[in-house]
Amino acid sequence: MEIPYTIESRPDTGLYNAKLGIWLFLASEVMLFGGLFSAYVLLRVGAEPGMWPHGWLNVTLGTVNTLLLALSAITTLLAWAACKVRDFRKFKIFHACTIALALTFLGIKSYEYHDKWIHYEVQLTNGKFADGHLVEKSPDFDLAKKTGSVTLHGRIVDDERELMDLRAPAAQSAKLDEVTIAATDIKKMENYGPKHNTFTAIYFTLTGLHALHILGGTLVIFYFWAFGGAMWKTDPERFTNRIEVSGLFWHFVDLVWIFLFPVLYLT
Amino acid sequence: MSLKAFHLVFVTLLTALAFGCAAWAFSSGSVIWGVAGIAAALLVIVYGVYFLKKLKKISYL
């Protein structure tokens, strides 16, 4: 038995099955990301004065990633348009570009994550704070046993609040040096991972979930790109509909980034 | 809503983002990035008009 409405629209909804399905799915996605954005707003307005970070993320890398996703939205549309005019060769070219752009986006995101992972804030026993990227740990470094030392490329400040606004003139003009700290002088040492503070927690949650969506979308697009030829030969119209549906998902993921970028990188 | 209509929504929001980034750059004192933001926004608008003309025959539904 043939499944109805895989190609033509249902008279009552005006949509074919897959399009109705993806829009219902996207509605649930709006609720998921909407909830997380609400969490971001509540965490931000609930932060102590002067304790919400500014300028912690690399705006240049964020801008490059925005451009990559914008271009990938265009190549996704062009891939669908190529299917519409029955040009499979162009479809392959455009979606190869989409996949390359998506992988570059994920590569840059991984670099940003790694940068946060090797960035440490060290609370010293004298009440000051050391902050910087890890250069090396001595072979005998053990914080629990208080042996060895750690070297950071960064600076030492008197108050943790000085580390919050990196766009402030004082932070902009601060000189970074290699700082070696003995384990005996360390009260607490923590990298800028998700548990560092509420900003890094919501940052990793939002961008991590978004990156997983990019990865999932890339896998689906790759599947159509690599193995779509068989359906294209037997049922090109149905295949075109599948490309449209994957394109709708991809556009949604790009739209989420359009909100994420200013909220996380610019504010 | 078809991919064409959703793409139009995307282009509109991308234009707003580019203008917003330009405003942010100007307020941060970076004139070059501000001008680049406005140029990007205009480029996206030109692309949007081109894309609408190109896909005139495809439905919005």
In angstroms, the CA A99 to CA A91 distance is: 12
Residue A59 to residue A248: CA distance in whole angstroms: 27
Nearest CA distance, B14 vs chain A (angstrom) = 7
What is each CA distance from B42 to A82, A145, A231, B39, B49, in whole angstroms? 26, 60, 40, 5, 11
Nearest Cβ partner of A258 from B4, B7, B17? Answer: B17
A255·B10 Cβ contact <8 A: yes
Using 50, 70 and 90 to split pLDDT, how confident is the model at B61? confident
Cα–Cα distance for residue pair A118/A266, rounded to 1 Å: 22
At residue A47, what is the residue type? Answer: A
Which residues of A fall within a CB distance of 8 Å from B2? Answer: 244
* pLDDT value of position B58: 80
Using CA atoms, how far residue A71 sits from A55, B10, B20, in Å, is: 26, 12, 19
Question: Would the CB atoms of A266 and B13 count as touching at under 8 Å?
Answer: no
Q: What is the pLDDT of residue A53?
A: 95
Query: Looking at the complex, does the CB of residue A94 fall below 8 Å from at least one CB of chain B?
Result: no
**Quick check: A215 pLDDT over 90?**
yes
In this predicted model, what pLDDT tens digit does every residue of A156-192 receive, in sequence order? Answer: 999 999 999 999 998 989 999 999 999 999 999 999 9
- The answer, yes or no, to whether residue B59 has pLDDT greater than 90, is no
- CB proximity B48 to A under 8 Å: no
Q: Report pLDDT for A207.
A: 98
A266 in contact with chain B, both atoms CB, cutoff 8 A: yes
Judged by CB atoms closer than 8 Å, whether chains meet at A244 and B2 is answered as yes
Q: How far apart are CA A17 and CA A182, in angstroms?
A: 64
Statement: residue A229 has pLDDT above 90? no
Decide if A147 contacts A176 (C-beta within 8 A).
no
pLDDT attached to residue A113: 98
pLDDT for residue B56: 82
Q: Kindly report, residue by residue over B1-55, the tens digit of the pLDDT.
A: 899 999 999 999 999 999 999 999 999 999 999 999 999 999 999 999 999 998 8
Residues of B in contact with A76 (CB under 8 A): 3
Q: What is the 3-state secondary structure (H, E, C) of chain A?
A: CCCCCCCCCCCCCCCCHHHHHHHHHHHHHHHHHHHHHHHHHHHHHCCCCCCCCECCCCHHHHHHHHHHHHHHHHHHHHHHHHHHCCCHHHHHHHHHHHHHHHHHHHHHHHHHHHHHHCEEEEEECCCCEEEEEEEEECCCCECCCCECEEEEEEEEECCHHHHCECCCHHHHHCCCEEEEEEHHHEEEEEECCCCCCHHHHHHHHHHHHHHHHHHHHHHHHHHHHHHCHHHHHHCHHHHHHHHHHHHHHHHHHHHHHHHHHHHHHHC
Residue A249 has pLDDT above 90, yes or no: yes
**pLDDT exceeds 80 at position A13:** yes
Find chain B residues with C-beta within 8 A of A255's C-beta: 9-10, 13
Q: What is the pLDDT of residue A7?
A: 87
**Span A24-39, pLDDT tens digits:** 999 999 999 999 999 9
Is A24 part of the contact surface with chain B (CB cutoff 8 Å)? no
- The residues near A65 (Cβ < 8 Å, ≥ 6 apart) are A105, A108, A109, A257, A261
For tokens 């996380």, the residue is A264
Domains defined along chain A, listed by start? 27-50+57-116+197-266 (1.20.120.80), 118-191 (2.30.30.100)
Per-domain boundaries in chain B: 3-54
In a mutational test of the A interface, the residue from B7, B8, B55, B56 whose CB has the highest number of chain A CBs within 10 Å is B7
Q: CA of A71, closest CA in chain B: separation in Å? A: 11
Residue of A76, A80, A266 lying closest to B24 (CB–CB): A266
The reply to whether residue A251 touches residue B7, judged by beta carbons under 8 angstroms, is: yes
What does the angle CA A27 – CA A72 – CA A40 come to, to the nearest 5 degrees? 45
| Whether the predicted pLDDT of A149 surpasses 90 | yes
